Amino acid sequence: MKMRLKCEGLSKNSVFAIGLALNMVVGGVDFFTGLDIGLTVFYLLPIAFVTWFAGRKAGLLMSVVSIITTVLSDILDGKILIHIAIETWNALVHLGFFIVVTYLLGRLKHELDGRSKIIAELKKALNEIKTLSGLLPMCAWCKKVRDDSGYWKQVEQYIAEHTEAEFTHGICPDCLKKMEPELYEKIIGKAEKPGGGKET
């Protein structure tokens, strides 16, 4: 885990340099083991490393470098080139294999990064969401709510502090009738009368 985090903190040039060093190590082992033992699959180590930490383009470049390394290793080992077309074909087949692996690894990394980003955003959103749950102690007379610290607050204040809700104020017909009967009669009373346009 620590190694992965360190590698993710490296620049693309540093990652490519490490991949190049890995490529040379594999090429050296390929040279010293001779022509009888094939080590082509081990060139995927630097390719995968570079693709994962530096991106698909860097991985494709490392694929080309790996093909050059394998061909040079074979030539230095004394491989007899039967026909240039056959050798070119074999090199292109290996390159195609490396390119497919590079593409798939790049795609996988892209998908995982996308999921990690979504998970981080969801965690952030979850932390920001404030919800009410459980029992709320409320005064039977003034309707204030007691918070966790023991302080009594207006319902509006308490809900605003614990949710994303915002309040606007109005007056319901019952309170209007009780507090301002003349205004109630003027606004609502006329509408309730048979000739006022509202059915009773």
Checking if the pLDDT of 107 tops 80, the result is: yes
User: Tell me: the pLDDT tens digits for 14-34?
Assistant: 999 999 999 999 999 988 888
C-alpha–C-alpha distance, residues 107 and 99, integer Å: 12
Between helix 44-54 and helix 12-33 the angle, nearest 10°, is 180
Work out the pLDDT band at 128, boundaries 50, 70, 90: low
Checking if the pLDDT of 129 tops 70, the result is: no
The region that residue 181 occupies, defined by phi over 0 for left and psi between -120 and 50 for alpha, beta otherwise, is alpha
**Cα angle: 108, vertex 112, 115; to 5 degrees:** 140
Q: What is the pTM of this model?
A: 0.60
Checking if the pLDDT of 196 tops 50, the result is: no
